[in-house]
Amino acid sequence: MNVIKGQNFRLLTNMGAGSIAAVPEETNVSITLTGNTEDTTTKDTEGMFSQEDIVSTAWSAQVDTYQADPEQLKAILSVFIAATPIAVGWDQTAGSQNSVAQNANFKRSGQALLNDFSMQFDDRAIVTTSLQFQGTGALS
């Protein structure tokens, strides 16, 4: 069985322009798919267990990066200020270097709002960013 390792899973965005591509220097990625349910239990239901039905779905994504390039930091700010959805998705890579995509069946993408970001500039060598996306609409 082919195991998908952590580093083989990457978040993609177009940061508001161009084609969708891997987020530069990303580290941790998480995607959350949510099925919102409603209890459809009625008087006709037998037993005590609730009868959950998915009435809506939602998705969100979060990625941490090392991003010291000033132009990349500006791009994040631009997307945040625009407050309009951008392309966000994910796929799987062949190796650990996030460069070669594989397994097209695994790839998904959609539109999402950058609804939270933070940039941390410490007193040492690292600039880290954390981006949270709220998906809007369906994934394809």
Partner 1 sequence: MKGQYYRLFLSTAANPDKVIAAAKTMSLHGSLQTQESSTKDTTGDALEYEAVGQSYDISGSALMVHTDDTESTVEGMLLEDFIDWVKNQSLYWRICLCNSVNNRTITREIAYGTCKCTQLQMQGQNRQNAQFSYTLQGVGKPTICPPGDYCTLFVTKHVPFSSSIDVGKLVVNQFLRDIEIVGISINDTVQTCNDVAIAISNGNYYLIGTNTEHGITSPKGVVNGFVTYPDEQPLNATVYVLFDGTYYTIDATTGELEPYSF
| Burial class of 61 by CB neighbour count within 10 A (0 to 12, 13 to 18, 19+) | buried
**Does residue 124 interact with partner 1 by CB under 8 A?**
yes
Collapsed DSSP state (helix, strand, coil) of residue 96: coil
**Does residue 44 interact with partner 1 by CB under 8 A?**
no
Among 9-17, 24-32, 39-47, 122-130, which window interacts with partner 1 (CB under 8 A)? 122-130
Site size toward partner 1, by CB under 8 A: 40
To partner 1, the closest distance from the beta carbon of 48 in angstroms equals: 27
* Contact call for residues 91 and 23 (beta carbons, < 8 A): no
In degrees and rounded to multiples of 5, residue 4 shows phi and psi of: -85, 110
**Does residue 52 interact with partner 1 by CB under 8 A?**
no
Among 5-13, 16-24, 73-81, 98-106, which window interacts with partner 1 (CB under 8 A)? 73-81
Collapsed DSSP state (helix, strand, coil) of residue 81: helix
Residue 52, C-beta contacts closer than 8 angstroms, at least 6 positions apart: 37, 38, 39, 40
In the shown chain, the binding pattern of residues 4 to 33 toward partner 1, with x for contact by CB under 8 A and - for none, equals ------------------------------
Q: How far are the Cα atoms of 119, 128, 133 from residue 72, in angstroms, in the given order?
A: 11, 12, 17
Q: Which is nearer to partner 1, 44 or 71 (CB)?
A: 71
Looking at residue 21, its amino acid is A
To partner 1, the closest distance from the beta carbon of 29 in angstroms equals: 20
Structural tokens at position 35: 């099925």
Judged by the rule CB under 8 A, the positions of this chain that interact with partner 1 are: 36, 54-59, 68-71, 73-74, 77-78, 80-81, 83-84, 113-127, 134-139
